[in-house]
Structure 1
Amino acid sequence: MPDIELEEAPALFRGMLRDIVSCSDYQEVCRKLGLVPASPDVDRIEHLLSHTRIEEFNRVASDAFRHADVAALVLYRLSRIHDEDDADSEVERQMFQAISRTAVATVVAHLLEKGRLGVCDV
């Protein structure tokens, strides 16, 4: 697995955080996480880039989320493989789904932005 360039990590972290957290909560969440705030000019650019990434992701969202949901189910079942209790927990399943969808959306959006993934309109 390739390492993230140290210089890229803070910007990548902020970008992914911005894609995950609502715009209205972003600054407060950054403060709570102890992140150094971007300058107002950089903040405006990062905000615009986030919206652009999400719009691009929306073109593939339905397919990506279908795959994320299957991955979530696989991970959920693997996490319970040694449980004696056979009862499913709908709350846990939904948590796995939310985490999986969030991770897939953020990663795919960033890869699309970098040109590492292409979207074909067929």
Structure 2
Amino acid sequence: MPDIETEAPAIFRGMLRDVVACSDYAEVCQLLGLVPAGPDVDEIEHYQSHVRIEEFLPVAAEALSHADVAATVLYRLTRMGECEEEGDERSQAMFHFVTRTACTAVIAHLLHKGILEIGDES
């Protein structure tokens, strides 16, 4: 388990890198009020993000299909007792986007740290 006080900022930046397009990263950091890393650290973090996403690709289809199921479960849980309304498609799409994004970032980080390993199904 990460030492939240020392590792949280780096984990946050790494996950942000993994979910925001490279071309938008600096602007998003500015909008969030984050102090940007220096050029050398920025280059390393950018590279590491690409490595993490590459490591995630072999399990992406399976992970994202499970994320979609989780999104549907969470969406329905948050809507219990409410009538279905017109325009719910946008809310459902947001649940799917957020869940897929979170699953991708978490799994990519855990794979990269060696906490998770891709097993042989044979």
Give the TM interval when normalised to the shorter protein.
Answer: over 0.9
Aligned to 1:59, the other structure's residue is in SS state: helix
Structure 2: distance between partners of 1:19 and 1:53 = 8
Q: Which residue of 1 aligns with 2:84?
A: 86
SS of the residue corresponding to residue 38 of structure 1 reads coil
Aligned residues: 120
Q: Which runs of 4+ in 1 moved over 3 A?
A: none
1:72-108, Cα deviation, whole Å (9 max, x unpaired): 000010011021x134711111111111000000000
Q: Which secondary structure does the structure 2 equivalent of 1:7 belong to?
A: helix
Unaligned runs of 5+ residues in structure 1 are none
Instruction: Give the structure 1 partner of residue 45 of structure 2.
Output: 46
Give the direction of change, closer, same or farther, for the CA distance of 1:114–1:3 in structure 2 (3 Å limit).
closer
Moved more, 85-94 or 22-31: 85-94
Partner of 1:25: 24
Cα deviation code 1:44-94 (max 9, x no counterpart): 0000000000011111000000100000000010011021x1347111111
User: Following TM superposition, by how much is the alpha carbon of 1:120 offset from its aligned partner in structure 2, in angstroms?
Assistant: 2.1
Letter paired with 1:26: Y
Is the 8 Å Cα contact of residues 71 and 99 (structure 2) preserved in structure 1?
Answer: yes
Residue pairs, 1:42-81, within 5 angstroms:
42-81=41-80
TM-score (norm: length of structure 2): 0.92
Percent identical pairs in the alignment equals 57
Q: 1:64 to 1:10 in 2, by over 3 A?
A: same
Q: What amino acid sits opposite 2:101 in the alignment?
A: T
* More helix by percentage: 2
